[in-house]
Each structure stands twice: as C-alpha cells, then as structure tokens.
Structure 1
C-alpha cells in the first residue's frame, strides 16, 4: 500500500474516533474501556495473523519489546488521555498531543542518532502553531488547578506515546514481525489498563447498550487494528519523526468532521491554523527540496535538505 494511502487511512480513522469515544462515557470506567478496546483488538489482530499463517511464535526478547511497546502505546498513554479529558477540553488535548511531532524528532535524535534537519523542524513548528491557532479559545481557558492537572496528564500521554513510537521504530529495525508484534502489544496494553482498573478499586462493569457496543467495535477494529497497522507500517518506512506528523493531521480531520456533523463555527484563526498545519504537512512529507531545485531555488533547497 502506498505511503500516502497509509497516512490517509490512519489520519481519517483516528480523526473520526472522537465520535466513537464520546459514546464510551457513562457507567464503564475509562481505564476499563481502554482495556476492553485493546484486549479485543489484540485478539482480533492475532486471529488475523493466524489465518494468514504469519509467525506467531516470538522469542523472549521479541515478546519483551512488543510488551514494552504495548504498555507505552496502547496502555498507559491512552489511560492518561482519558484522565486528561476529565479536566480539559478535547481540543486542548489535541494541541498537547501534537507535541509528539517535536518529541519524536528529539527522541529519534537521541535514540537513533538521526539529525534534526531544517525541513522537519520547520514542518513540526508550523504544525504545532497551526493546531494551537485552531484551538486557541480552549488554550485560553486553562486558568485553574484542574486545568493544569489536565495539561500535565496530556503532556505525559504525548511523551509516553512518543516513547512507544521509538520502541516501535526499534522493533521495526530489528525485524520484529509487525502485525503479531502489534497484536501481543495490544494484549499487554489492554491487560495493563485492566490491572489498573482492578488495583484502583474501580468497578469492572460492562455496558450492553448498542451505542457502547457499536463504538467499542469501531474503536477496536478500525481505530486500533486497521489504524495502528497502517501507522506502524508507515513508521517502519519513513521513521518515527515524519510519521508522527499524523498527530497534527488527526485533529484537523476531526475538526472537519465536527463541522460536518456538529455545525462547528469557523473563525479566522481556524482557517489560519489549518493553513499552517497543511503547509507544515507538505514540508514534512513532500519532496520540498526537489521542487525548490526544479524552480531554481537551489540555496533554499540546500538549507531544507
């Protein structure tokens, strides 16, 4: 599958999961919903791998790395997102999550020795500025202790997810089987959320309403199995730094869906923010240097190379 299609699949699916997540709130604790989602997703992923006759028997070292990826990417980071959204609006969480772009760049520099080139730095900066502009009203609303607690959880979630991305990059470089690794990681991430639910004394209940069951199915199959398979395949091809720009594209996709389904009111800074994010996306992912050379701007192309 082409990289552009992988990028589009992950972005559009994750951009729509906010609709499904709103149907998860209610009688089931957030950590239990995370557990149900990723345990189901892990089972489905491994069943798919078995049907395709992929290698399911991993070495002890491979299982440990897959488990670490699962705890970071599918377990603790998602629980922190849910906790953050108890204190702050989802738009502000989108801004905080977009910091993954910078964290991935810095992390790849320290973990793999990959230099932070001017193109990536410019694209990341424009992306985060764009998301901040889009959600500027919600950024201004952080003015109490509860809001700052939410900011702390949101930044923690972004940091842990970025660490999970770096582990995923390491696993891809080590030729750990992609889909089985994701499946085992999801089981461990879901198990981590389940263990937290039990140890924290929260009720392990289930919601049988059609809205909850339908949203759980969508989040497990589309939001987890398909989206993460597309994203981690892309990460293996272009690296954690560039693929992490999906954290900027997802809230833009969610905003467009919100305008369609909920009548979101557009403002001037909304349009300016989306423009910044789109330009940053093009700089980060497209062959900007090659285009600049073709139009005779060799010096600028050299700086962005």
Structure 2
C-alpha cells in the first residue's frame, strides 16, 4: 500500500506544477488558490458525508487544522503560484524537492534533533545544485532580479510546506482523523485567502475559459483531494522525513512536462543542478524503499 501511495503522489504532484502555470493570467493568484481549496474542501466533505464519516473535531484539533490550512493550503501556494510567474514550473518543482532537507532542519530547530554530518553534506550538495540550476539564467542574457525573486518565493513556499509536514505528522501521531482534518484545513485555508482577496478589493470571479477551468478542477480534485490525502497518508505511515522523498522525484515529472509544454530549455548547468539536488537528497536519506525493491527485482530477474 505504501508503494501505491508513493507512486500516486509522485505522478499527481509532479504534474500539478504545469497546471498551476495554466491558472496564471487574469484571475488574481489569491482568488485562484481560494477557489482551488474551497472546491477541494466541499468535495472532500461531500465524500465524507456520503460515507457517513465523523466530521466533528475538538476545539484543539480545529486549531491544528487551521494551522495546517495556513501552512499547506494557502501561504505555501501563494508563494508557489507567484514564483511560477517568474520561473518555469519545472524549476519551481526542483526547488520544492529540497523539502526533505527543510524537514530535517526544522526538526533540528523545533525538536532539537541535531543533524548528522551526512545531513550537512547532503544539504550542501543540494544547495550547490540549486545554484547550478539557476546559473544559466543569472549568467546569461536572461539575467533578471525577477528570477531571484521567484527563487526566494519558491524557497519560502517550501518552508511553509515543511512546517505543515511536521504539524500533520504530530496530529496523526495523536490520532487525529486524516480526511476530516484535511477537509477542515482546506476550508480554513480557502477562507483565509477569501478574506485577503476581499480586503484587497479583489473580485472573486474567475476566468471562464476551458484551459483555466480544467486546470482549476484538476488541481482541486486530482491535485488536492487525491494528491494531498495520499501524501498525508504517507506522512502518517512512514513519517514526514521519509514521505518527503516524493519531492525528490517530482522534478523528473515536472521538468519533463515543462520541456514539452512550456519550452523549457535544458543547459549543462541545469542538468548538473538537477542531478546534484537529487544526489543531495539521496545522500541524506538514502535510496527510497520503493526504488530499492525495484532495483532488487531487476537484479533478481
């Protein structure tokens, strides 16, 4: 079951970065994300009602769900969506693949779990990889401070995601039900974004084009309802650090789609950067179990 959850999460989230790029345009980013998670929350609540599942949470658990909403279903995506205005979606995914590093770093800061020398080595390799990945933009004719702005936003979004990982792992370890908690968290995230939009004087109307609407429903149903719950189920099964392994493989899916649909141009620097980012993650956490089993079965055959 873990392998199914792992593979599903990689394929879904590896593809959502391109869908995010298709949502950019006339509709404000805040409004797009608000509708995404409002729809996802409603769909998830409807599924839970159809299954006659318990929807109520304690006051304390509602606080945790609200914190998840701020970390996983609003602020992180505000950063990612805006970053995609300045970076190809595939590059956004590569930066996001540093999430396992940030998980370990946050565990050090929050829970005083001191990192090992292997972690420090892997983190340095991953950081150098990101530098190489963006080297061609900074060194060539495309050099622009907007690239740096997009990179910083992507890093900030990954930080919010990492904090959300730790909150979710703690919540599930205390026995909080996964699906109701996720439904409430998505609802809280969307309410928070709607308030921001209204205070800023934005209209909640969206672009009524096939491209935008198909991206919206894909992100709400496939990317959010299915993708987030398979990922958070992994967090509950194997912990935040190991579950974040999914982010190591996201760039392979995302960059392939970015090359096909966005015309992303590969360079020697960018290829080396991707290799270093993945190598850094593998140095810290080793080879993921699903890949180990695949390699073992290949050798055996």
TM tier relative to shorter chain: 0.7 to 0.9
Equivalent in the alignment of 1:228: 228
Equivalent in the alignment of 1:161: 161
Measured against aligned partners, the alpha-carbon deviations of 1:133-170 in whole angstroms (never above 9, x if no partner) come to: 44542354785554444344333222222111111111
Displacement, 1:243?
2.1
Alpha-carbon distance in structure 1 between the residues aligned to 2:179 and 2:122 = 30
Equivalent in the alignment of 1:31: 30
Alpha-carbon distance in structure 2 between the residues aligned to 1:264 and 1:132 = 18
Displacement, 1:12?
1.3
Alpha-carbon distance in structure 1 between the residues aligned to 2:262 and 2:282 = 28
Displacement, 1:121?
5.0
Equivalent in the alignment of 1:286: 287
Alpha-carbon distance in structure 2 between the residues aligned to 1:143 and 1:101 = 29
Distance 1:274 1:103, change over 3 A: closer
Equivalent in the alignment of 1:253: 253
Measured against aligned partners, the alpha-carbon deviations of 1:41-91 in whole angstroms (never above 9, x if no partner) come to: 011112222223332111111111011111111011111222333344545
**TM-score of the pair, normalised by structure 2:** 0.82
Alpha-carbon distance in structure 2 between the residues aligned to 1:272 and 1:98 = 15
Measured against aligned partners, the alpha-carbon deviations of 1:219-256 in whole angstroms (never above 9, x if no partner) come to: 00111111111111111222222322333321221112
Give the aligned CA root-mean-square deviation in angstroms.
2.9
- Correspondence list, 1:36-51, <5 A: 36-51=35-50
Alpha-carbon distance in structure 2 between the residues aligned to 1:274 and 1:238 = 26
2:170 is the counterpart of 1:170: yes
- Correspondence list, 1:52-131, <5 A: 52-117=51-116, 122=121, 125-130=124-129
Measured against aligned partners, the alpha-carbon deviations of 1:192-245 in whole angstroms (never above 9, x if no partner) come to: 111111111222212222222211110001111111111111112222223223
Measured against aligned partners, the alpha-carbon deviations of 1:108-130 in whole angstroms (never above 9, x if no partner) come to: 23334445345555555555554
2:243 is the counterpart of 1:243: yes
2:190 is the counterpart of 1:187: no
Equivalent in the alignment of 2:17: 18
User: Secondary structure, in 3 states, of the residue corresponding to 2:73?
Assistant: helix
Check the 8 A contact 2:125/2:279 in 1, yes or no.
yes
User: Secondary structure, in 3 states, of the residue corresponding to 1:23?
Assistant: helix
Distance 1:232 1:239, change over 3 A: same
Check the 8 A contact 1:27/1:205 in 2, yes or no.
no
Equivalenced residues, count: 288
Equivalent in the alignment of 2:214: 214
Where do 4+ consecutive residues of structure 1 move more than 6 Å?
none
**TM-score of the pair, normalised by structure 1:** 0.81
Alpha-carbon distance in structure 2 between the residues aligned to 1:128 and 1:271 = 14
Displacement, 1:273?
4.1
Q: Which moved more, 1:36-45 or 1:144-153?
A: 144-153
Distance 1:268 1:143, change over 3 A: closer
- Correspondence list, 1:262-277, <5 A: 264-277=264-277
- Correspondence list, 1:145-160, <5 A: 145-160=145-160
